[in-house]
A and B are shown apart, each in its own frame.
Chain A
Amino acid sequence: MSAAPIHIAGERLMLDPQGVLYWPSRRLLVVADLHLEKGSSFAARGAGLLPPYDTRETLRNLGNALRRYRPAGLLALGDSFHDAEGHTRLAEDDAATLRHLLHGLAVTWVLGNHDPVAPAGLPGEACDEHRDGPLVFRHQALPGKQPPGEVSGHFHPKGSMPTRCGPVTRPCFMTDARRVILPAFGAYTGGLAATDPALANLFPWGSRLFLLGKERLFSLPLAPARRLTTA
């Protein structure tokens, strides 16, 4: 499995096919939108009894990423739980797994719209945004002209690549020289098309998508949104 390096604000960042970002100079692993306990959230509000294995699956994937990079710190870009009470519904063994994964890591919980409060009983610091050197980590990208160096999640970007057997759609990183948006990491997280104005307008000069594959990323340029609407 090979990660792709990008450079933002002079920093070298690795985009990993598992959907995580690694910042080598800080030994920091970044994940977005875990949406833990989404299944039970649906069940609790009577919206269908989805297979209750999503948290387990997400944690397993997270464990794989942590084993691969052995980082010093883990930063979650918000929406780590699907709702504010999510952490209270964690099954005992899932909670134990999570605590085990986080053990010895400097954990930062950036808060998102789904989980506006810090998860009680879990290690780590909670904040609305996190700055480190030239980079700023926040849940949702700020629109308009921003200084370069923003890392965010929230949108669950997905991209479609045309192939000879029709388009193939995958979660993707979306990036230009100034910012990068991570795909959602949670097992039950759908996506928003990268061409959607909400996403495309954040990249007025166009963007590059990195679609997640089993072993590698697949890169695809995306024209700026402006051209799409005036063509």
Chain B
Amino acid sequence: MGTLPELFAAWFAARGWSPRPHQLALLDAARDGQSALLVAPTGGGKTLAGFLPSLVDLAEAPRDGLHTLYISPLKALAVDIARNLMAPVGEMALPISIETRTGDTPANRRARQREAPPNLLLTTPESLTLLLSLPDADRMFAGLAAVVVDEAHALAGTKRGDQLSLCLSRLQVLAPGLRRVGLSATVAHPDALRAWLSPRGKPADVRLVIGRGGVAPRLDVMLPEGHLPWGGHMGLASAPEIYARLQQAKVSIVFVNTRAQAELVFQALWKLNDANLPIALHHGSLTVEQRRKVEAAMSEGRLRAVVATASLDLGIDWGAVDQVVQVGAPKGVSRLLQRVGRANHRMDEPSLAVLVPSNRFEVVECTAALEAIEASELDGDPPRPGGLDVLAQHILACACHAPFAPDALYAEVTRSGAYATLSRQDFDDVLRFVEDGGYALRAYERYRKLFRDSEGLVHAANNRVVRQFRMNLGTIVETPMVKVRLRGGPMLGEVEEYFVGTLTAGDCFIFAGQLLRFDKLDGMTAVVSRGGEGEPRVPVYAGARMPLSTELAARVRGILHDPAKWGHLPPPVQEWLRLQQHFSALPPPDGLLVETFQRGPRWFMVAYCFEGRLAHQTLGMLVTKRMEKLGMAPLGYLATDYVLATWSAFEPTGVERLFEQDILGEELEEWIAESSMLRRTFRNIATIAGLLEKNQPGQEKSGRTMTMNADLIYDVLRKHEPDHVLLRATRQEAAHGLTDVARIARLLGRAEGRVQHLALDRASPLAVPALIEQGREWVAGGAEDALLAEAAALVEEATGGAELFSELLAEVTEDVPLGRGLIDRSRPKTLEARRRRYSRSAKGAM
């Protein structure tokens, strides 16, 4: 085990600390010139461990120029870490310069950083990409000794991670001696992460250092007093219990699963807030300033609680947080642990966390999560291979930096962890795509973005190409958003354009913790005022919900099936399961339980698949297509994390035929091509790959644009060149993520020959939550027309207008009320005033 130089040892001692084993282990790896991955729970000096070798090196041999690059997924984190590093550097009087570089860095400082880079530069993947595309990147990075990738688990397997992986390969060429250090939360697949981090795509290149875990967290499941809800995901019934917990703790983070839920839980807590606790709201659609304000108030101890989404999953440690509340099901064990770890960063005391399930199924899921944590069994998939769209952007970045030889670039790209398996064919196709669109019809010879010189080197065609690349760089593609501004006041954040499209003047909605009245749309800004009449709505955002993880689903099945494991479940849930056992059957751990029953004129089929909402949505489309072929006249379906429910005009018989493996054949292909999910995926891919511009230099976006619709391009391309590289990229990505095809295949395999079909005379107890689930389905092109016909027919009958349609699903499921009681109508004026006063005073404090 390595030792610290005297200066450093003294500094540790002066603070009453002793270096942790993992900190010394990283020092060792650095001395051996080896890359390393540190896997440790939050707290425990992980970041310092990453920097320590660099600090020691620079202390022993001071020098000018860039020594260490630090990459964080969050801008704010880079800034905070820089501030925290100043302490040891200042106190030991080390001759080390530290700076950050993000999108917010002023132009003059950026220019200076290129001239005279600091020793330690803290930045984001996007800023690094930009730096590498500059003509003088080779000079700037030539002396780079180390790169530290923070929150590596959150980057690997994402598009930003793909981009970073390619950048690391680039850096390795510019600075061959470069050492890589990854910092990660505890993950299920450390070897895959090592491979991702490795300079050759091989896990053995990266030394694995495991940080000692702290004391095991203390977790509880908390139920609402009184009735345990059958359905819903908001958890508002538990608001009084949550509030009581907030009063007992010093500082709490209340984690929820969606932004809509955050708004509702925040409302519900303030409604109970007689003690006037300072409770704040934090989610990704609020303005950056507002979020920073909340974070600052949090770290200064001016808040008692913050209701947050995944927007607070990562970030700087707040020592003061002593309780985490998870409202709604955790969906994944790894994420739950990460969230729990946000409380109490002292290693010698347990983190306190409480899980608040919002319905009966979620109670089982929470119990399963506790089991998994006790067994230290994590979930999550290993990082998927890198996307071709990100590669397209990278190739353009390389051309913007300097002319390149395709052979050398291919070799460089395949040394990166994310692209180790990239075929030369794919590389060449992507290169051609960047060059001239890569179409079989070579129509754009004149407009090519790249050209090859006589020696075969590839150049950027002109300065406009370079400028456009810089403006459109990045792999984060937002759904079209509309800013929300208070009339005569500040910007509050943004909501999806689609949501605003459904509002008319006077409608009210809840956003940024306030009740707002929509006044008008002014360009790309929704102007709102406070207050409003009638039932408020809550903006929802696409893709916000994470599906139930495979591992957790397996545990849920295990618990449901085995009455011996019900001991930990609360009595109402046990009773519910016993009723299920009596009226129907318990879903088997392997095999597939399918129930059918009639309600009114419709036949329902409920399949207990437990493969997560995304997989069920895809499966629903496949199964209903098969039902159509078999003449069952399916009318619709609904997917939850646990079950797939369909309804049809005729009785589904011989249901085994609906779950045969061959539904993954033609029907899947057909559906994938038509699916609106694929369209969304294509839009993102086309934008990242540079086919669609996010920003046009010198072109102003007018408020009313007839937007070039990615859907139209998708349709045309699919018809005329179905094998285009971007369509291949789209299908590849969909197979990995959105459609969860692998999970469907697994389910069908499990079900083969083991479908247990029960024809019941009514809905079973387990089926009830699915029947009252509220769901907006993704529908295919064909089904869309059926929906339109249905809606148009209703319009014919109707006199009242649009209000009718929201009730339609309830009508289909026969008077089961939908989403009622989710929103509190009564809204005491005084409370509104109080909250406003609070949010004003928080503003004043800044």
Closest to A51 in B: B717
Judge if A146 is at the interface, Cβ distance under 8 Å: no
From residue B629, how far is it (CB to closest CB) to chain A in Å? 19
How many residues of A sit at the interface, in one of the four size bands? Answer: 35 or more
Instruction: Determine, out of B296-304, B422-430, B781-789, the stretch whose residues face the partner at the interface.
Output: B781-789
Q: A46-B468, A192-B704 are in contact. Are A218 and B717 (CB under 8 A)?
A: no
- CB-based contact B693/A52 at 8 Å: no
- CB-based contact A168/B809 at 8 Å: no
Chain A residues with Cβ under 8 A from B437's Cβ? 43, 49-52
CA distance A163 to B802 in the complex (A): 9
Q: A49-B447, A53-B721, A156-B706 are in contact. Are A231 and B504 (CB under 8 A)?
A: yes
- CB-based contact B443/A44 at 8 Å: no
Q: Which of B709, B713, B802 contacts A51 (CB 8 A)?
A: B713
Chain A residues with Cβ under 8 A from B808's Cβ? 163-164
Chain B residues with Cβ under 8 A from A201's Cβ? none
CA distance A42 to B444 in the complex (A): 11
Judge if B731 is at the interface, Cβ distance under 8 Å: no
Bitwise, A184-210 to B at CB < 8 A (1) or not (0) is: 100111111101101000000000000
Chain A residues with Cβ under 8 A from B520's Cβ? 229
- CB-based contact A56/B791 at 8 Å: no
- CB-based contact B777/A166 at 8 Å: yes
Judge if B742 is at the interface, Cβ distance under 8 Å: no
Q: Which of A42, A91, A184, A220 contacts B792 (CB 8 A)?
A: A220
From residue A112, how far is it (CB to closest CB) to chain B in Å? 13
Q: Which of B464, B715, B787 contacts A46 (CB 8 A)?
A: B464
Q: A43-B444, A191-B706 are in contact. Are A160 and B720 (CB under 8 A)?
A: no
Judge if B58 is at the interface, Cβ distance under 8 Å: no
CA distance A156 to B792 in the complex (A): 21
Bitwise, A132-157 to B at CB < 8 A (1) or not (0) is: 00000000000000000000000010
Bitwise, A31-59 to B at CB < 8 A (1) or not (0) is: 00000000110111011111111101100
Judge if A215 is at the interface, Cβ distance under 8 Å: yes
- CB-based contact A46/B447 at 8 Å: yes
Judge if A167 is at the interface, Cβ distance under 8 Å: yes
Judge if A120 is at the interface, Cβ distance under 8 Å: no
Within B454-472, the residues touching A (CB, 8 Å) are: 464-465, 468
Q: Which of A49, A53, A165 contacts B787 (CB 8 A)?
A: A165
Judge if B696 is at the interface, Cβ distance under 8 Å: yes
Chain A residues with Cβ under 8 A from B693's Cβ? 47-48
- CB-based contact A168/B724 at 8 Å: no
Judge if A86 is at the interface, Cβ distance under 8 Å: no
Judge if A213 is at the interface, Cβ distance under 8 Å: yes
Q: A47-B693, A91-B443, A228-B504 are in contact. Are A56 and B720 (CB under 8 A)?
A: yes
Judge if A97 is at the interface, Cβ distance under 8 Å: no
From residue A15, how far is it (CB to closest CB) to chain B in Å? 14
CA distance A40 to B721 in the complex (A): 17
- CB-based contact A51/B724 at 8 Å: yes
- CB-based contact A53/B709 at 8 Å: no
Closest to B712 in A: A188
- CB-based contact A162/B802 at 8 Å: yes
Within B702-727, the residues touching A (CB, 8 Å) are: 704-709, 712-713, 715-717, 719-721, 724
- CB-based contact A48/B709 at 8 Å: no
Q: Which of B706, B721, B776 contacts A190 (CB 8 A)?
A: B706
Q: A57-B719, A190-B712, A220-B792 are in contact. Are A228 and B692 (CB under 8 A)?
A: no
- CB-based contact B790/A53 at 8 Å: no
Closest to A170 in B: B788
Q: A163-B787, A167-B502 are in contact. Are A57 and B792 (CB under 8 A)?
A: no
From residue B372, how far is it (CB to closest CB) to chain A in Å? 34
Chain B residues with Cβ under 8 A from A221's Cβ? 795, 801
- CB-based contact B792/A218 at 8 Å: yes
Closest to A56 in B: B720
Judge if B371 is at the interface, Cβ distance under 8 Å: no
From residue B807, how far is it (CB to closest CB) to chain A in Å? 9
Closest to B796 in A: A219
- CB-based contact B776/A166 at 8 Å: yes
- CB-based contact B505/A229 at 8 Å: yes
Judge if A126 is at the interface, Cβ distance under 8 Å: no
- CB-based contact A51/B707 at 8 Å: no
- CB-based contact B443/A40 at 8 Å: yes
From residue A37, how far is it (CB to closest CB) to chain B in Å? 10
Chain A residues with Cβ under 8 A from B692's Cβ? 48
Judge if A211 is at the interface, Cβ distance under 8 Å: yes
Chain A residues with Cβ under 8 A from B502's Cβ? 160, 167
Q: Which of A44, A51, A170 contacts B439 (CB 8 A)?
A: A51
From residue B343, how far is it (CB to closest CB) to chain A in Å? 38
From residue B200, how far is it (CB to closest CB) to chain A in Å? 34
Chain A residues with Cβ under 8 A from B436's Cβ? 49
Chain B residues with Cβ under 8 A from A213's Cβ? 785, 788-789
Judge if A161 is at the interface, Cβ distance under 8 Å: yes
Judge if A100 is at the interface, Cβ distance under 8 Å: no
From residue A74, how far is it (CB to closest CB) to chain B in Å? 23
Q: A49-B436, A53-B717, A162-B791 are in contact. Are A190 and B707 (CB under 8 A)?
A: yes
Judge if A214 is at the interface, Cβ distance under 8 Å: yes
Q: Which of A42, A51, A198 has the most CB of B within 10 A?
A: A51
Q: A56-B720, A91-B443 are in contact. Are A190 and B785 (CB under 8 A)?
A: no
- CB-based contact A46/B465 at 8 Å: yes
Judge if B636 is at the interface, Cβ distance under 8 Å: yes
- CB-based contact B792/A161 at 8 Å: yes
From residue B671, how far is it (CB to closest CB) to chain A in Å? 15
Closest to B699 in A: A47
Closest to B802 in A: A162
Q: Which of B446, B707, B720 has the most CB of A within 10 A?
A: B720
Chain B residues with Cβ under 8 A from A170's Cβ? 788
From residue A155, how far is it (CB to closest CB) to chain B in Å? 8
Judge if B125 is at the interface, Cβ distance under 8 Å: no
From residue B580, how far is it (CB to closest CB) to chain A in Å? 28
Chain A residues with Cβ under 8 A from B717's Cβ? 51, 53
CA distance A170 to B447 in the complex (A): 32
From residue B295, how far is it (CB to closest CB) to chain A in Å? 34
Closest to A57 in B: B716
Judge if B805 is at the interface, Cβ distance under 8 Å: yes
CA distance A182 to B634 in the complex (A): 35
Closest to A94 in B: B443
- CB-based contact A196/B465 at 8 Å: no
CA distance A50 to B706 in the complex (A): 17
- CB-based contact A219/B691 at 8 Å: no
- CB-based contact B696/A47 at 8 Å: yes
Judge if B441 is at the interface, Cβ distance under 8 Å: yes
CA distance A146 to B444 in the complex (A): 45
- CB-based contact B444/A52 at 8 Å: yes
Chain A residues with Cβ under 8 A from B708's Cβ? 42, 188, 190
Closest to B777 in A: A165
- CB-based contact B501/A160 at 8 Å: yes
Chain B residues with Cβ under 8 A from A52's Cβ? 437, 439, 441, 443-444
Judge if B589 is at the interface, Cβ distance under 8 Å: no
CA distance A198 to B520 in the complex (A): 14
CA distance A52 to B717 in the complex (A): 9
**Chain B residues with a Cβ under 8 A of chain A:** 436-437, 439, 441, 443-444, 446-447, 449, 464-465, 468, 498, 501-502, 504-506, 520, 636, 690-693, 696, 699, 704-709, 712-713, 715-717, 719-721, 724, 776-779, 781-782, 784-785, 787-792, 795, 801-802, 805-806, 808-809, 812
Known A-B contacts: A160-B502, A187-B715, A218-B789. Give 6 more (CB < 8 A).
A49-B439, A49-B447, A52-B437, A163-B787, A168-B784, A214-B785
11 examples of A-B residue contacts, CB within 8 angstroms:
A43-B437, A49-B439, A51-B713, A52-B439, A161-B791, A162-B802, A198-B704, A213-B789, A218-B788, A219-B795, A231-B506
